[in-house]
Structure 1
Amino acid sequence: MRNPHHGGPIPASLVLWLLAGLGLGWTQPVLAGGIPTLTLEPVEVTASREDLIGTADSANVGTVNRAQLEAHPVYRVGEVLEETPGLILTQHSGEGKANQYFLRGFNLDHGTDLAIFVDGMPVNLRSHAHGQGWSDLNFMIPELVSSLQYKKGPYYPEEGDFAAAGAVHVHYADALPQGVASLGGGTGGYGRLLVADSPKWGEGHLMYALELFHNDGPWTQPDDYKKVNAVLRYSQGTRLNGFNLTAMAYHGAWNATDQVPKRAVDAGLIGRFDALDPTDGGEASRYSLSGAWKRTAGNSVTQANAYLVRSKLSLFSNFTYFLDDPVNGDQFMQPDSRVFWGMNASHTWLGNWNGREVENTIGLQVRNDNIFNGLFKTRQRETLSTVRQDHVTEGSLGVYFQNRTQWLEKFRTVAGVRGDFYRAKVESDNPANSGEVSASIANPQLSLVFGPWAKTEYYVNLGGGFHSNDARGATITVTPGNGPNANLPQDKAPLLVRAKGAEVGLRSAIVPGLQSSLAVFLLDVDSELVFVGDAGTTEAGRPSRRVGFEFANYYAPTSWLTVDADFAYARARFRNADPAGDRIPGAVEGVASIGLSVDHLGPYFGALRLRYFGPRALIEDNSVRSDSTTLVEARVGYRIDKNLRVALDIHNLLNSRDDQIAYFYASRLPGEPAQGVSDIHFHPVEPRSYRLTLIANF
């Protein structure tokens, strides 16, 4: 697609360079393949990871299609995101709780520096009761996913808050290829029923889905996780000119077996799957209305989406047992109830400057959260006292501009600038912790792309990003609560924290059937500041640096076999001196994933997947480290006819006794010293389990 008209005398790339020099910030677009021609068409994916040579702006972006997402078994729905090379998801509590995320040397907790979007809506919840960036994916229905797109590092101006380590976009289909009815059952009280279809309705399609789910797991105190998911979508048009309107509803309730102290298991006081507080658990709901619109005309594309979400959570946890309260125990409740809305809009147009093709994009992103949350001391889910209770309103405005210029046949640049403004108001039960705060930040991004030569392309990426901190931490002045440490002076945290990254990489398809990418990255974060929801305070972390590499491969040697193998390693260190040490507790180091998928082999299909999560420091001086975790998942399937198939998923095939996650901190069991005992606390992987599913298409 070419524009015969010429632009102005100064290319946009040069203007962006000048803006960056003034500290005003940079973005990222989409080139077609082969010859240097700019295009406004989205990349169509025909394999698990398209080679993207000629279209990608870095070695760390990729797209995974529906077929590959369906090929691999997952124990919990969030593991769909593990198709992102180097990303690991775990769980340290009941299944209804948001996952733990690990990527690029980060322990991302429940989502602090990984921006996640489902159907255009942000999943991360800011100023959340339990953790900044809380990302609960239990409302997602995998059968509705048409593709997953990932990108890592702060090099993309369309990605804002929480995207310092990366961003993942899950896209729902407007219409399903066929209706689907799925019925599954298995060990640990597992049961799942799904019905979904998208019949023609007027000028478009009306897609519906209903999911009923139950799981107990291996726990002595059963999870009894029950959830209901429903989706209703009406769509018209095509992916280039069309719209959709969508309603989603989710409700879940569960018991939780949180992490347990290693000393208690070693002494035989409890078993690996026992709970020290059997009343832990929670209840969550999420209801949303959203819409998306896109128009392609001539040499331009305009698109927009908007959303309105109602989210609620009541979470009961006890991680220290009897350390703070030897009589009632340390259970606490964190309620979070909010309504948030937002919209994203962008306009892309093609141009020509002195024979050089250019593509420009401008974008606008708005979001506002109205939040009611708090922290309460409880016993067996009964409230004993209030630590803090808050009403937070938080709004943000983000704008960005990006330019792509094809300077030579084998050299192009992508340059962008992004600016964000945040404002928050906190009304706390303690007036000393109330207040208003605002902050702004601007970040540049630049990508240099060379090639391809011999089906290999090379990238240099530079850019800045950020994450927001909990607004309550930005207005706090005294420690909340009414305990012995209440009303002590408390340092405030900045509302926005900057990240800076650099990366070199390559992407190659020189070997027939093999797609490979290699990226070497550096990422600095000005502060590891995190609001500690479990304590109701903010801890000011130290500046940090992560250096590492990612090596991703996808190989299709035959029409019936595909192989993917991904390896990643990161060195995470604090950047300032401290006698405590320079290790970042919980920071992921080595990660590997190797998968085989078999299909089109008569009526049979199947998969085998290995996930490795390496050991990591649990304390700053590296004197305590976690063990590694290796899990193997398998699937064996048979097509009874063209519309009916059966699949058996085997989770933890080797019956590993590894851990999902491990922490090191002080807790107290009955009879132990008042100051507690510092120990490793772990959440075990689930033992071998089986899930049998019958899938019918109609």
Structure 2
Amino acid sequence: MPAWRVLPLVLLLLFICWSHPAARAQGVGTLRGAVADSLSGQPMVGVSVGLEGQAGGTATDALGRFRLDAAPGTYTLRVGGLGYRGRGQAVTVATGETNAVNIALAPTVLSLAEVTVSQPRDPNQSLAAINQIDKVLRPVNSAQDLLRLVPGLFIAQHAGGGKAEQIFLRGFDVDHGTDFAVSVDGLPVNMVSHAHGQGYADFHFVIPETVEQLKVYKGPYTARFGDFATAGAGEFSTKTRLDASQVKLEVGRFDTRRALVMLDLLGNNNRHLFSKKPESAYIAAEYNFTNAYFDQPQDFRRFNGLAKYTGQLSDRTSLTLLGSHFTSSWDASGQIPESAVRDGVISRFGSIDPTEGGNTDRTNASVVLTTGLPGDAIIRQQLYYSNYNFNLFSNFTFFLENQEDGDAINQTDARNIYGYTGTYDRDDRLGARSLHTTFGLGTRIDDADVTLRRAVRRAITDTITAGKVYEQNINAYLDETLTLTDRLTLNAAVRADLFVFDFRGLITNDEGNLETLNGRKTRALVSPKLNLYYQLTPAVQLFARSGFGFHSNDARSVVRSTSNDNVLPRALGYEAGSTFKPLPGVVVNAALWALHLQDELVYVGDEAIVESAGRTRRYGADLSVRYQLTRALFADVDLNYNHGRLVGVAEGENFIPLAPRFTSVGGLTLKTPQGFGASLRYRNIDSRPANEDNSIRARGYFLLDGVLSYTQQRYQIGATAENLLNVDWNEAQFANPSRLRGQTTPVEEQLHFTPGTPFFFKVNASVFF
């Protein structure tokens, strides 16, 4: 349905919700309170709160507070969070009165019986229960593993471990982030108009042990997310405090070494339950080195540092300060042609151009102020800054164009990112029904110098494009969640985005000559959303969602083009499904979905242009199951079917290159009270078309990984094994033309791949203090 037909309906719903005076329902009373961690005293966000035997419920807000309205009577207040012992407390509700109650939750062993399947405060996060379970159960050994926590998401690395991963989700080859938005503590990870790819999301500045929470949103249904959030979005949050300081060492095959230090700076001196000013601060740092499994040593080096402070300035105000720095350098073997391995020119782990590789760094600073206002309102404001540098040498076609010196290119990106996000959240009553309002306002400015040049053995030769990109996004959204009945909830929202694209510099024209390009364009877009949630029983939630989203084009292509059709291509998505618990120890999420893209943009890195693949249509089914077999043994599986095609293209020539059709991950995890842990996991992706006519296919794979650990109060030891069956598998794969040195004629199109890791083993040891 066209946006102009949907938008008036959404706006009407929003106007009714926003403008109706908040009227206290007759004959009800109110419960107000806060939930805190019994060990740290820190407020707990997103904890489920409800009255036993009553429909609905709520969740704690950003300050750990909650509010419930109910008819007069005596109830049992139930409060629970995954990994915490659930609490029940008798409460009395009197007409027209407010009863205050504070709850402290104590950590305990994981029990899926504590998981709830309704998320009234953030209804669009239907995967909340799944995400909480996975963060506790699934082993995380690297920043890449954090992305794999997203159900149905696969990644591939093809540039020596230092470049952002290629992402696959919901039938998308997302490239490095064109259709999946990623953020960490509110800091956007995706880079607009990046030298290597639109939406480039380098996640390697995150230390995996510092991540506390992951929220996944599939589809374009949530107004908080704008650019790149078409297939979905992932929000990662780092810990507000450390349970203990830690030193960790890892040693593995292929000269792999890693050291981690995490230090609690304040200890337990300021951790008092429901104190007006609990606070915490810690620093973390890691260093990684590996030569990897390629014939050419990778010499991969990465350093990460993080410092974070969280404190309650008053009972209504909290402050979070964050600073981090990341730097990385590596050599790469790149993608190699399948024919070169088959003909014995190189080994499976060899290289055609041994000069590939690069270096990158990123420095972040963020301040977040969260303030509680009278009338159940909260204002959250964040200012952030990032300084980013990127320098990459690649060679995709070897000697296709330059038979003497090769086709190597150098891409550089040096940018500053400035941003602000502010949200106003308020709980109200609309007659007898609860109404939650969120108004958001934000801006982001990218000021970048980007270049693309030819290179010979890492020496720069000719310039293909070079210049300054200035890009700004100003956005605002209004999001309303209204409980129409005790069981039915409506979420309606609208988002508005304004983009300014500006490029000043040189670019190669169609004749192959450098010319000056100076231009500026402005474009705006409105994205409505409409979602329904029905709580069939306390253990079954049904949902139907719909919404418009978009991904932006590269500023150089926007300014260069005479058309505005593909500046902000739209995405229309809709889905229906359920999150339910057929048994106390089983959590299931299932969805049928479809996504239409107005224009699928493909970034061509060696030309610094964006090609239009035209309209695409996708549909599919997702199924996630989490099952607690015993107190200590857990099973999980994700099954994802995706069908995608180019629209308006002849049958048989309308395949979407590299779009996965079927993916699955799963495993068994053991966590005993005595501290022993083990996990056996698999990953499977099927073979899929590598080009539009399916004449070349990217090869699927099935892998087994294992993890062992033994944890006590003061130490932990463990081991990790990847690719237990030692299968030959292709990680990144592309179909493109190329020519080897000495070949008289090029190969017009063939499969190029980066080999996946063979059997890999590493051990680790940690000390806690």
TM-score if structure 2 supplies the norm length? 0.83
1:446 alignment partner in structure 2: 530
Contact 1:587 1:617 in 2 (8 A): yes
1:104 alignment partner in structure 2: 170
* CA apart distance, 1:39: 5.0
* CA apart distance, 1:508: 0.5
* CA apart distance, 1:53: 2.2
Give 1:505's match in structure 2, choosing from 571, 577, 581: 577
2:295 alignment partner in structure 1: 220
2:103 alignment partner in structure 1: none
2:413 alignment partner in structure 1: 336
CA–CA separation in structure 2 for the residues paired with 1:283 and 1:638: 36
Contact 2:117 2:580 in 1 (8 A): no
2:378 alignment partner in structure 1: 301
CA–CA separation in structure 1 for the residues paired with 2:233 and 2:10: 24
Give 2:226's match in structure 1, choosing from 148, 151, 160: 160
Contact 1:59 1:518 in 2 (8 A): no
1:487 alignment partner in structure 2: none
* CA apart distance, 1:73: 4.0
2:753 alignment partner in structure 1: 682
2:3 alignment partner in structure 1: none
Give 1:350's match in structure 2, choosing from 427, 437, 447: 427
Q: Within the alignment, does 1:365 sit opposite 2:442 as a pair?
A: yes
Give 1:16's match in structure 2, choosing from 10, 16, 19: 10
CA–CA separation in structure 2 for the residues paired with 1:601 and 1:266: 51
CA–CA separation in structure 1 for the residues paired with 2:165 and 2:696: 24
Residues 199 and 30 of structure 1, relative CA distance in 2, 3 Å threshold: closer
CA–CA separation in structure 1 for the residues paired with 2:475 and 2:530: 18
Give 1:609's match in structure 2, choosing from 677, 681, 697: 681
Give 2:728's match in structure 1, choosing from 638, 657, 679: 657
Contact 1:38 1:357 in 2 (8 A): no
Which SS does the other structure have where 1:630 is aligned? strand
CA–CA separation in structure 1 for the residues paired with 2:141 and 2:535: 41
CA–CA separation in structure 1 for the residues paired with 2:732 and 2:402: 26
* CA apart distance, 1:558: 1.8
Following TM superposition, the consecutive aligned residue runs of length 4 or more in structure 1 with deviations greater than 6 angstroms are 64-67, 490-493
Which SS does the other structure have where 2:341 is aligned? helix
Give 2:519's match in structure 1, choosing from 435, 438, 443: 435
Residues 151 and 348 of structure 1, relative CA distance in 2, 3 Å threshold: same
Residues 499 and 240 of structure 1, relative CA distance in 2, 3 Å threshold: farther
Q: Within the alignment, does 1:36 sit opposite 2:56 as a pair?
A: yes
CA–CA separation in structure 2 for the residues paired with 1:363 and 1:492: 27
Give 2:595's match in structure 1, choosing from 505, 508, 523: 523
* CA apart distance, 1:628: 1.0
Q: Within the alignment, does 1:645 sit opposite 2:710 as a pair?
A: no
* CA apart distance, 1:44: 4.4
Which SS does the other structure have where 1:265 is aligned? helix
Residues 228 and 70 of structure 1, relative CA distance in 2, 3 Å threshold: farther
* CA apart distance, 1:672: 2.2
Q: Within the alignment, does 1:95 sit opposite 2:167 as a pair?
A: no
- CA RMSD of the aligned region, Å? 2.4
CA–CA separation in structure 1 for the residues paired with 2:111 and 2:722: 22
2:90 alignment partner in structure 1: none
CA–CA separation in structure 1 for the residues paired with 2:178 and 2:532: 28
> Larger relative CO (CA 8 A, sep 6+): 1 or 2?
1
Contact 2:296 2:350 in 1 (8 A): yes
Residues 271 and 73 of structure 1, relative CA distance in 2, 3 Å threshold: farther
Residues 54 and 319 of structure 1, relative CA distance in 2, 3 Å threshold: closer
Moved more, 215-224 or 534-543: 534-543
1:667 alignment partner in structure 2: 738
1:190 alignment partner in structure 2: 256
1:316 alignment partner in structure 2: 393
Give 1:413's match in structure 2, choosing from 462, 469, 490: 490
CA–CA separation in structure 2 for the residues paired with 1:445 and 1:590: 28
* CA apart distance, 1:198: 2.1
* CA apart distance, 1:398: 0.8
* CA apart distance, 1:540: 1.6
Question: Any stretches of 5+ residues in structure 2 without a counterpart?
Answer: 1-6, 16-45, 63-79, 84-109, 271-276, 508-514
1:78 alignment partner in structure 2: 144
Contact 2:117 2:540 in 1 (8 A): no
CA–CA separation in structure 2 for the residues paired with 1:621 and 1:415: 41
* CA apart distance, 1:76: 4.2
CA–CA separation in structure 2 for the residues paired with 1:454 and 1:236: 35
2:37 alignment partner in structure 1: none
Which SS does the other structure have where 1:18 is aligned? helix
Q: How many residues in Structure 1 have an aligned counterpart in Structure 2?
A: 666
Residues 73 and 655 of structure 1, relative CA distance in 2, 3 Å threshold: farther
Contact 2:13 2:492 in 1 (8 A): no
1:462 alignment partner in structure 2: 546
Which SS does the other structure have where 2:148 is aligned? helix
Q: Within the alignment, does 1:265 sit opposite 2:331 as a pair?
A: no
Contact 1:132 1:531 in 2 (8 A): yes
Which SS does the other structure have where 1:327 is aligned? coil
Residues 122 and 44 of structure 1, relative CA distance in 2, 3 Å threshold: farther
1:694 alignment partner in structure 2: 765
Paired AA for residue 731 in structure 2: Q
Which SS does the other structure have where 2:340 is aligned? helix
CA–CA separation in structure 1 for the residues paired with 2:446 and 2:710: 47
CA–CA separation in structure 1 for the residues paired with 2:652 and 2:662: 23
* CA apart distance, 1:432: 4.8
2:325 alignment partner in structure 1: 249
CA–CA separation in structure 1 for the residues paired with 2:126 and 2:197: 27
Q: Whose radius of gyration is greater, 1 or 2?
A: 2
CA–CA separation in structure 2 for the residues paired with 1:71 and 1:415: 34
* CA apart distance, 1:194: 0.5
TM-score if structure 1 supplies the norm length? 0.91
* CA apart distance, 1:72: 3.5
CA–CA separation in structure 2 for the residues paired with 1:76 and 1:190: 13
1:3 alignment partner in structure 2: none
Which SS does the other structure have where 1:79 is aligned? helix
Residues 605 and 75 of structure 1, relative CA distance in 2, 3 Å threshold: closer
* CA apart distance, 1:71: 4.6
CA–CA separation in structure 1 for the residues paired with 2:605 and 2:692: 21
Paired AA for residue 663 in structure 1: F
CA–CA separation in structure 2 for the residues paired with 1:595 and 1:370: 44
Which SS does the other structure have where 1:474 is aligned? helix
